[in-house]
Amino acid sequence: MTPAPALADLIVTVEADTGTEDPLARLATASAMAGELVDTSDALVGHFVDRCRTAGHTWAEISESLGVSRQAAHKRYSPVPRELSRWTERAKAVLGASVDAARGLGHGVPVRRDRS
């Protein structure tokens, strides 16, 4: 596996991107970069979860591969649209289960994750 970016390389990038030696400015730049790295890593894992679901893998199989509980994997990567963020957790779970049932019957359902 190709290693993740080295800490030293990230530090050099933050220092170059900040354009000043002010520690608070560098901290703000580092924090923004860390947020982008988290978003990118979440999107990376989500991409492959989507591929696994499309290939017919169960939440149990996916959760085992991720090393988390089935419930944690399903909650994090469930295909519940963002506009349902005001729904109760139970309602979201029912919708997610219906999507799973539709896939199980061979019906194509677009995959989208709730990030709210």
For 26-59, b where at least 16 C-beta lie within 10 A, e where not — what string?
beebbeeeeeeeeeeeeeeebeebbebbeeeeeb
| Residue numbers of the domain that contains 43 | 7-58
Residue 36 lies in a domain: yes
71, pLDDT greater than 50: yes
> Residue written as tokens 């709210």?
116
Residue 38 lies in a domain: yes
Model-level pTM?
0.62
104, pLDDT greater than 80: no
- What is the number of domains present in the chain? 1
Q: What is the pLDDT of residues 45-61, one digit of tens each?
A: 988 998 998 899 999 99
